[in-house]
């Protein structure tokens, strides 16, 4: 009961923090919203399960390596943006052409990314309901896609940014609640002396002794 209350407090506190004027009005934080939305989706829905299945207990180390590589790539991007800003956009015709080409490529990549994650949303969104089938999942995906198109067509980009910020706030609140629940779970296990792990270790030792017992005792005779 106490743990559930702590999880609820963590969720509500995170959402309240995200909507504080100092946070919501921060240009730096708003600039991080779009990349953060993609990072959360990629990490929880794709990379997390894949790394766990492929690397097991070493998955956190691999994830740390991926984060380091992503940070290095981000440093190169930030350097290019800073250089372009200080030179006031005058880098030559080739550089200008490359910048425009990469902007179009990035826009096309975002279209693929949005469609992919909307498909995942449709699949997961109905997985626990009686409408768990391919047609209804695609129908949900199409409905959300039409909603995004409608808002983008009838409103300005600030409305889409608001939807994105709301989505990120909810996901960060869920993560905060998950971490709080995991912290409570491991705290209870630590205070109880990890009985499950101890029993499992004892059973493995007993099984090993049972398999090697006769030979070992016979060798001592």
Rounded average pLDDT over 84-103: 75
Please check whether residue 211 lies inside any domain of the structure: no
Rounded average pLDDT over 177-198: 77
Q: Which residue has the tokens 């309240």?
A: 16
Please check whether residue 31 lies inside any domain of the structure: no
Instruction: Check pLDDT > 60 for residue 213.
Output: no
Q: What is the rounded distance in angstroms from the CA atom of residue 169 to the CA atom of residue 14? A: 8
Please check whether residue 213 lies inside any domain of the structure: no
Please check whether residue 157 lies inside any domain of the structure: yes
Direct distance between the N- and C-terminal alpha carbons of the chain, in angstroms, rounded to an integer = 58
pTM: 0.64
pLDDT at 113: 77
pLDDT band at residue 85, thresholds of 50, 70 and 90?
A: confident
Please check whether residue 63 lies inside any domain of the structure: yes
pLDDT band at residue 72, thresholds of 50, 70 and 90?
A: very high
Q: In the numeric block, which tokens belong to residue 214?
A: 């006769």
Number of domains into which the chain is organized:
1
Please check whether residue 188 lies inside any domain of the structure: no
Where helices occur in 21-156 by DSSP H, the ranges are 21-24, 27-41, 48-55, 59-86, 93-125, 134-154
| Surface-to-core class of residue 120, CB atoms within 10 Å of its CB (0-12 exposed, 13-18 middle, 19+ buried) | middle
pLDDT band at residue 124, thresholds of 50, 70 and 90?
A: confident
pLDDT band at residue 68, thresholds of 50, 70 and 90?
A: very high
Please check whether residue 12 lies inside any domain of the structure: yes
Q: Are 30 and 161 in contact (CB under 8 A)?
A: yes
Q: In the numeric block, which tokens belong to residue 111?
A: 């279209």
Rounded average pLDDT over 181-204: 69
Domain interval for residue 174: 2-23+36-182
């Amino acid at each position: 009961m106490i743990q559930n209350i702590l999880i609820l407090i963590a969720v509500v506190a995170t959402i309240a923090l995200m909507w504080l004027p100092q946070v919501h009005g921060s240009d730096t934080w708003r600039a991080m919203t779009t990349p953060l939305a993609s990072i959360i989706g990629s990490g929880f829905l794709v990379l997390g399960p894949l790394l766990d299945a492929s690397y097991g207990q070493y998955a956190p180390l691999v994830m740390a390596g991926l984060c380091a590589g992503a940070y290095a790539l981000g440093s190169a991007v930030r350097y290019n943006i800073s250089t372009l800003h200080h030179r006031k956009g005058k880098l030559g015709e080739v550089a200008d052409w490359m910048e425009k080409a990469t902007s179009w490529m990035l826009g096309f990549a975002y279209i693929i990314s949005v469609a992919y994650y909307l498909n995942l949303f449709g699949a997961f969104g109905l997985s626990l309901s009686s409408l768990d089938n391919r047609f209804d999942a695609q129908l949900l995906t199409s409905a959300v896609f039409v909603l995004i198109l409608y808002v983008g067509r009838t409103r300005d980009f600030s409305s889409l940014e608001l939807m994105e910020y709301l989505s990120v706030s909810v996901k960060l609140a869920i993560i905060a609640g998950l971490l709080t629940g995991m912290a409570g779970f491991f705290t209870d296990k630590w205070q109880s002396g990890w009985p499950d792990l101890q029993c499992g270790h004892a059973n493995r030792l007993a099984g090993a002794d049972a398999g090697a017992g006769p030979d070992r005792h016979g060798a001592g005779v």
